């Protein structure tokens, strides 16, 4: 009997995790379908690189800003309806970007006096960004309420890994679709995949639970619960988000994003600038880091389910990675050793991700998971927006060593943010 119940429980968890991770994969996939098509879009729409950059900045910026109010919406109306609606809106936005040249041509026929196609594209990218903003608040709210607590770390790690996988497969997939048809139809096909997935999710709503949809309580009970009853209010929600623990988590997520941005964007040029390795070997080192980071996410899930001291796991990982990055300014390892230490650094950074999510979960009051994860995830966008400019200035100044120093500084900031005591709600 116990075995059957356990097997049933595991099967249910895998079902929920499969649905949520598929949506998360698509959210990352859609954010990277446009750049591989830039050469075609630039040619057909007669755009320049600045206009292409504005397209991506607008989509990322809208998604970042919208995450916080979406988090409140998740905790008020429930994550299921927000998640499926967001997936539909995001997918529809991608479809309509593919149809924008036709829509722009129709509008141009009205004699507006300017080419409206680009503005039509921007409108649908705003919609896409709004749709994308639902995933972190809604996904974590559902996982937190639907998955067995003993498997939560592994669930978070698979969820995070699915996002990385979506980013990895996007370029090849969209270019394959474009080769079969053209860039416009490629986007339409990609968007329709998300709409089909949305209908699959809605058919499985009963499997998806979240804190906001608990049975209604009597007024006397709600009054007796005091703070819990007020948790859904906007005033109390904002007070929670701007409390010291949540601001520290926001800083933690931002520092992690800055670290990732520095490594992914500037590791190669910094290694070459310091004459640590030629560009080919530096590229292999970055690839080793990225593959190891993805593997580390899955390993981190196993570790997260076996300990409650997630802060210690993160601290150890930060120390290891900081030491490796700083060593690049002193030593010049050979190709094999360089790739090996980058594998260790990547594993360490991947392990942090599930520990990070488990710490936020532990500090989130019941019924506030959506707004909390929406808020701290906005730190990822903030860090990702600030870091490239800082690293770019450093490289323009001819100081490649400071790329590694700055990465270490961001890790120290992240360590400080999790070293401070935080409340435990779950």
Answer yes or no: do 304 and 249 share one domain. Answer: yes
> Is there a domain that residue 209 lies in?
no
Answer yes or no: do 173 and 243 share one domain. Answer: no
What pLDDT is recorded for position 64? 84
Domain enclosing residue 327, as ranges: 230-419
Q: State the number of CA atoms in the 13 A half-sphere of 249 facing the CB.
A: 29
The residue whose two tokens read 């209604």 is 216
SS (H, E, C) 209-273: CCHHHCCCCCHHHHHHHCHHHHCCCHHHHHHHHCCHHHHHHHHHHHHHHHHHHHHHHHHHHHHHH
**Of 163, 188, 162, 166, the residue nearest 177 (C-alpha):** 188
Answer yes or no: do 38 and 172 share one domain. Answer: yes
What pLDDT is recorded for position 365? 83
> Is there a domain that residue 312 lies in?
yes
**Of 285, 352, 343, 358, the residue nearest 317 (C-alpha):** 352
Answer yes or no: do 26 and 124 share one domain. Answer: yes
What pLDDT is recorded for position 233? 63
Of 164, 187, 204, the residue at which a domain comes to its end is 204
> Is there a domain that residue 212 lies in?
no
What pLDDT is recorded for position 213? 58
List C-alpha distances in Å: 6 to 3, 18, 145, 146, 376: 5, 18, 17, 15, 33
Answer yes or no: do 328 and 400 share one domain. Answer: yes
Residue 181 per-residue DSSP state: S
Sequence-ordered list of residues with C-beta below 8 angstroms from that of 394, at least 6 positions apart, any chain: 400, 402, 403, 406
What pLDDT is recorded for position 111? 61
Interhelix angle 369-396/335-363, nearest 10 degrees: 150
Sequence-ordered list of residues with C-beta below 8 angstroms from that of 345, at least 6 positions apart, any chain: 263, 289, 292, 320, 321, 324, 325
> Is there a domain that residue 317 lies in?
yes
Whole-prediction pTM value? 0.81
DSSP per residue, 187-213: HHHHHHHHHHHHHHHHTTGGG---GGG
Answer yes or no: do 8 and 55 share one domain. Answer: yes
**What's the total number of domains in the chain?**
2
Answer yes or no: do 263 and 403 share one domain. Answer: yes
Residue 423 per-residue DSSP state: -
CATH of the domain at 358: 1.20.1250.20
Per-residue tens of pLDDT for the chain, all 426 residues: 334 445 557 888 888 888 899 999 999 999 889 989 988 999 999 888 888 888 888 888 888 889 889 988 988 888 888 999 999 999 999 999 999 998 877 766 666 655 688 999 999 999 999 999 999 899 988 888 888 888 888 999 999 999 889 988 898 899 999 999 999 999 999 999 999 999 888 887 777 776 655 544 443 444 444 444 444 467 778 888 888 889 999 999 999 988 988 888 788 889 999 999 898 899 899 888 988 998 999 999 999 888 888 888 899 999 999 999 999 998 888 889 999 999 999 999 999 999 888 888 888 887 788 888 888 888 887 887 788 778 888 888 889 999 999 999 999 999 988 876 555 554
């Amino acid at each position: 009997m116990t075995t059957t119940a356990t097997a049933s429980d595991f099967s249910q968890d895998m079902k929920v995790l499969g649905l949520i991770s598929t949506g998360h994969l698509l959210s990352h996939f859609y954010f990277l379908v446009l750049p591989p098509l830039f050469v075609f879009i630039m040619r057909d729409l007669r755009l320049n690189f600045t206009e292409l950059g504005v397209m991506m900045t607008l989509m990322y910026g809208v998604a970042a800003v919208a995450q916080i109010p979406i988090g409140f919406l998740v905790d008020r109306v429930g994550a299921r309806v927000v998640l499926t609606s967001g997936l539909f809106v995001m997918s529809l936005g991608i479809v309509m970007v593919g149809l924008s040249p036709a829509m722009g041509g129709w509008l141009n026929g009205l004699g507006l006096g300017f080419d409206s196609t680009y503005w039509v594209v921007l409108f649908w990218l705003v919609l896409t960004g709004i749709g994308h903003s639902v995933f972190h608040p809604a996904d974590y709210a559902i996982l937190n309420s639907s998955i067995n607590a003993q498997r939560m770390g592994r669930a978070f790690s698979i969820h995070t890994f699915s996002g990385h996988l979506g980013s990895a497969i996007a370029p090849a997939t969209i270019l394959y679709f474009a080769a079969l048809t053209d860039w416009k139809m490629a986007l339409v096909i990609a968007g329709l995949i998300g709409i089909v997935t949305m209908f699959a999710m809605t058919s499985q709503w009963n499997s998806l639970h979240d804190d906001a949809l608990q049975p209604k309580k009597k007024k006397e009970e709600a009054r007796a619960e005091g703070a819990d009853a007020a948790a859904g209010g906007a005033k109390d929600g904002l007070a929670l988000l701007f409390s010291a623990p949540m601001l520290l988590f926001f800083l933690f997520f931002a520092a992690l994003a800055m670290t990732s941005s520095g490594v992914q964007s500037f590791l190669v040029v910094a290694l070459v600038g310091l004459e640590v390795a030629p560009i080919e070997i530096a590229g292999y080192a970055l690839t080793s880091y990225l593959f190891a980071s993805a593997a580390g996410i899955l390993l981190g899930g196993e570790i997260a389910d076996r300990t409650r001291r997630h802060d210690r796991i993160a601290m150890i990982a930060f120390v290891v990675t900081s030491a490796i990055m700083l060593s690049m300014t002193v030593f010049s390892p050979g190709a094999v050793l360089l790739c090996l230490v980058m594998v260790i650094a990547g594993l360490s950074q991947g392990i942090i991700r599930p520990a990070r999510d488990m710490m936020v979960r532990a500090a989130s009051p019941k019924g506030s998971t959506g707004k909390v994860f929406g808020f701290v995830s906005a730190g990822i966008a903030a860090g990702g927006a600030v870091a490239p400019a800082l690293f770019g200035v450093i490289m323009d100044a001819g100081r490649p060593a400071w790329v590694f120093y700055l990465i270490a500084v961001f890790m120290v900031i992240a360590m400080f943010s999790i070293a401070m005591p935080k409340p435990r709600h779950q």
